[in-house]
Structure 1
């Protein structure tokens, strides 16, 4: 009886051991297999065999990871304090490096993204941070991608989400924008006066070529004024019209 019981126990253990050797990896998963502590190969996807006691397997997800970078206090190049947060999209390209070269690639990428965000934005002024987000996103992505390449990680995209400013800085920016609009209005008005003076000078030159043209212009202006309902009309009379009356008759 004891022999049969031992046989059953051994059979159950062998069956359990045989079942545990089979592993199923999904399409987006890979298994990094170590044999006696040394790297052996990367397996998957599908059905794979892992010998218990001799081999160990670590699962790696190859899908794109969306990493939310916590809000960071950044001092811009013009000494303005801002709070910035971002989101990073990356994925594992080399499972072997992601497991062997770094202890926890998710935590390492998160910490690296925070320091890189502060370092890159600290090299730019506030106006550049607010107006040139696309270029800054590209700069941060390139720096992260170069540093995480040794970990087998590809940083696909970086997006700066929010840039928060103090109330005093918001008021200062509003005053600056108002002053800029006033400056533009004055410049446009001055350009209009310059163009008008140039046109008036051209008109005066053309009218001065024909003395009769000036008189016709005066008559036309007097006709326009006469159409108004004003009781009093003040109109300058050119001295040229009175020359015929002033000169003595011969």
Structure 2
């Protein structure tokens, strides 16, 4: 009887030992093993055997982490207050440093991303923030990657999601855009007038060499007016016809 009880106790102890000693790590997991408080090695994936009470294992996920950066109050270089939110993509490339060099690397990376984004965006004007997001994303990503390298973390991408402006600034931007469109319209109209003046000058030069062509233009103009069924027709009278009459009457009055 006592032999049976002893055998049962041995089996239970062996089961407890195996439960405490065996760990199964997935393909995307690594285990940082500490032996008597000192770093020993990184193990995994698969089955890992530990010495209970002597060795401890800390699991580290190697998959890409998608972290939302909360909306940050940013004052741009031209003194415009905006709220900017972004998303951060990073992964652990060195599990040992991620556990040993920093406490709670997820929280540390999140806080560093927030402060870095405020510092980088504050050096640029609002127009750059709205139109050059790709360049700003790359600047923030490079700075974060350099600072988190000692933690064994690789920042793969940073994307600015939303730039929130107050109503006053939105109206100011709308007025600026409207004024810019009006300026472009005036410039285009002036360029059209300039091109038309060049063409008219060329046409006048051609007509001056062939006076009969001007009479044909008169007849064509009358044809166009008559096609509209107008009750009033304005007939252009050539100056070479009016000129002699004016000189005749002027001479008669002086006499």
| Equivalent residue number for residue 49 of structure 1 | 49
Secondary structure at 1:137's aligned position in 2?
helix
1:140 Cα deviation from its structure 2 partner: 1.1
1:8 Cα deviation from its structure 2 partner: 5.0
- TM-superposition CA deviations, 1:7-37 (whole Å, max 9, x none): 7545533441233211111111100011111
| Equivalent residue number for residue 237 of structure 1 | 237
Note closer, same or farther for the CA distance 1:4–1:221 as it changes in structure 2 (3 Å cut). closer
- RMSD across aligned C-alpha pairs, in angstroms? 2.2
- TM-superposition CA deviations, 1:202-249 (whole Å, max 9, x none): 10011111222222222332333344433332323113246788999x
| Equivalent residue number for residue 172 of structure 1 | 172
Secondary structure at 1:149's aligned position in 2?
helix
Q: Which moved more, 1:219-228 or 1:140-149?
A: 219-228
C-alpha distance in 2, partners of 1:226/1:48? Answer: 100
C-alpha distance in 1, partners of 2:12/2:227? Answer: 117
Secondary structure at 2:63's aligned position in 1?
coil
Gaps of 5+ in 1: none
Secondary structure at 1:85's aligned position in 2?
strand
C-alpha distance in 1, partners of 2:125/2:143? Answer: 19
| Equivalent residue number for residue 73 of structure 2 | 73
1:48 Cα deviation from its structure 2 partner: 0.9
C-alpha distance in 2, partners of 1:41/1:154? Answer: 21
1:206 has 2:209 as partner: no
How many residue pairs match? The answer is 248
Secondary structure at 1:230's aligned position in 2?
coil
Q: How does 1:1-250 map to 2 (within 5 A)?
A: 8-9=8-9, 12-241=12-241
- TM-superposition CA deviations, 1:182-217 (whole Å, max 9, x none): 111111111111111110001001111122222222
- TM-superposition CA deviations, 1:72-131 (whole Å, max 9, x none): 000011000000111111111110110111111000000000001101111111111111
C-alpha distance in 2, partners of 1:77/1:41? Answer: 48
Q: Which moved more, 1:223-232 or 1:150-159?
A: 223-232
C-alpha distance in 1, partners of 2:10/2:247? Answer: 144
- Compute the TM-score of the two structures, normalised by the length of structure 2: 0.89
C-alpha distance in 1, partners of 2:77/2:27? Answer: 46
